[in-house]
Structure 1
Amino acid sequence: MKIARSTYCGECHEDFKNGQVVWYASIENHSFCSNCKPNLDIKDREPRKVPGGDEK
């Protein structure tokens, strides 16, 4: 899984947690949390992982 470069949600601006899976929308060039994903009318999105957490 690719790494998220953003540290916060592009919609609600909540900070991402280490290891969290977020959704990147290339057309917006931003990442979004799972809570905001259903509110977005964006078809082209892919999961990304926030650095940290269980990575070695």
Structure 2
Amino acid sequence: MVEEVFFGGLTNSTAMIVDALQDLMNAVSIGLALLLEKVSGKKRSAKFSNVYKRF
């Protein structure tokens, strides 16, 4: 991703820069989904009397 931003800036290609940023956002969203999937499996506690899972 870094090299794509670098060469996109070097060649003045906004398409390459936007593609690199889109790849970064995809990676962040997959990581967030995995984290929230792990949190949703937690059991209830004294602080949260209801379960974390929504469905």
TM range (shorter): under 0.3
TM-score normalised by the chain length of structure 1: 0.22
Larger radius of gyration: 2
| Higher RCO, Cα 8 Å, sep 6+ | 1
Q: Which has the higher strand share?
A: 1
Name the TM-score, length of structure 2 as normaliser. Answer: 0.22
Higher-helix-fraction structure? 2
